[in-house]
């Protein structure tokens, strides 16, 4: 069984379904409201665990009802939560995804306890990072914690996978600490304004900053996989999208598991695309993440 460590955010997702986004100053009646366990870190950890990985989560929640629910959910998924601290002084992070009728979404995030995760919290979880086959990180926790975790993993000879979401100011050279950089198309454009929105130029520019593999996820257009000297497009699997929240995290978790199991970046991206396709067919973030058998069915159908 492959080992994955995730340093990242843990949120309660308060999901509103609406026909469209309201204009400034407009009140709009929405279709529905639901609460789900979420956060990019928690989602990616859950995605990897459901696909058969041994997962350790490192993060921070509040010592409140939301935090307790998140911890219970992670444990039910078989995830090691010894690296998650429940902070009595700061509330659990909250995200408010707005899901539109076509399945697309926009998300407001209030990180709260996630930003209190610092270097000390990472040091407490050093063993989990050093023993993992792959470390997964994002930009929804304190940047000092993200950088510290990446440096520990690199020093231990472990692979580091960075999902630079949401885009945030980061130390020079941080992207170069990642072996695999996995932005979506919005993040790739923000990181490489000089590329003018050309995905191939974006991938080449990101490779020049140090990662050995760059994967730009493109939603229903699939993904672009870049390694030095090679750019390859991976097609999306045709499905009926209900809710795209969590699809990117499903891709990331599946990509990491496949890569840790020995797949090539291209094979891992196809596995990730199948996981993302499965996730968009169900509502919610963590709730939509697929099992291995579901991903295999999507792969076989394509």
266: confidence class by pLDDT, cuts 50, 70, 90: very high
Domain ranges of the chain: 3-20+33-301
- Spell out the residues 6+ positions from residue 90 whose beta carbon is closer than 8 angstroms to its own: 60, 62, 112, 113, 116
Q: Look at phi and psi of residue 157 and say left if phi exceeds 0, alpha if psi is from -120 to 50, else beta.
A: left
Query: Across residues 117-128, what is the average pLDDT?
Result: 97
Say how far residue 197 (Cα) sits from the centre of its chain. 22
The whole-number pLDDT of residue 284 equals 73
pTM score, two decimals? Answer: 0.92
The answer, yes or no, to whether residue 217 has pLDDT greater than 90, is yes
The answer, yes or no, to whether residue 68 has pLDDT greater than 80, is yes
Q: Catalytic positions, please?
A: 249
Provide the 10 A C-beta neighbour count for residue 3: 18
Task: Give per-residue pLDDT as tens, 41-57.
Answer: 999 999 999 999 999 99
CATH fold group of domain 3-20+33-301: 3.40.1190
The answer, yes or no, to whether residue 283 has pLDDT greater than 90, is no
The whole-number pLDDT of residue 90 equals 97
Query: Across residues 46-69, what is the average pLDDT?
Result: 98
Provide the 10 A C-beta neighbour count for residue 143: 15
The whole-number pLDDT of residue 91 equals 98
Spatial contact of 208 and 237, defined as CB atoms under 8 Å apart: no
Provide the 10 A C-beta neighbour count for residue 210: 14
Task: Give per-residue pLDDT as tens, 232-256.
Answer: 999 999 888 877 778 999 999 999 9
Q: In what order do the strands lie in the sheet with 213-217?
A: 80-87, 54-62, 3-7, 134-137, 159-162, 180-181, 213-217, 223-227, 230-234
CA angle (41, 7, 284) in 5-degree steps: 5
Task: Give per-residue pLDDT as tens, 93-117.
Answer: 998 989 898 878 888 889 999 999 9
The candidate with the shortest Cα–Cα distance to 6, out of 171, 119, 162, is: 162
302: confidence class by pLDDT, cuts 50, 70, 90: low
């Amino acid at each position: 069984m492959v080992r994955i460590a995730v340093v990242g955010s843990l949120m309660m997702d308060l999901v509103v379904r609406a026909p469209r986004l309201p204009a400034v100053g407009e009140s709009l009646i929405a279709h529905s409201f639901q609460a789900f366990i979420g956060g990019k870190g928690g989602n990616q950890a859950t995605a990897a665990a459901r696909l058969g990985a041994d997962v350790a989560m490192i993060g921070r929640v509040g010592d409140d009802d939301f935090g307790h629910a998140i911890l219970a959910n992670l444990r039910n998924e078989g995830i090691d939560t010894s690296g998650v601290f429940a902070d009595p002084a700061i509330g659990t992070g909250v995200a408010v995804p707005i899901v539109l009728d076509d399945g697309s979404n926009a998300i407001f995030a209030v990180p709260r306890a996630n930003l209190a995760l610092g270097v000390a919290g990472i040091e407490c979880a050093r063993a989990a990072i050093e023993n993992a086959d792959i470390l997964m990180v994002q930009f929804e926790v304190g940047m000092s914690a993200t950088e510290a975790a990446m440096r520990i993993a690199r020093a231990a000879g472990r692979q580091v996978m960075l999902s630079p979401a949401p885009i945030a100011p980061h130390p020079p050279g941080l992207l170069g600490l990642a072996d695999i950089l996995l932005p979506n198309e919005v993040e790739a454009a923000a990181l490489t304004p000089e590329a003018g929105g050309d995905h191939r130029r974006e991938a080449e520019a990101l490779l020049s900053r140090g990662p050995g593999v760059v994967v730009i996820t493109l939603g229903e257009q699939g993904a672009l996989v870049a390694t030095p000297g090679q750019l390859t497009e991976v097609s999306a699997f045709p499905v009926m999208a209900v809710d795209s929240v969590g699809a990117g995290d499903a891709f990331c978790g599946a990509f990491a598991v496949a890569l840790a199991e020995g797949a090539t970046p291209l094979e891992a991206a196809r596995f990730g695309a199948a996981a993302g396709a499965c996730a968009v067919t169900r509502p919610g973030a963590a709730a939509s993440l697929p099992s291995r058998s579901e991903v295999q069915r999507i792969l076989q159908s394509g």
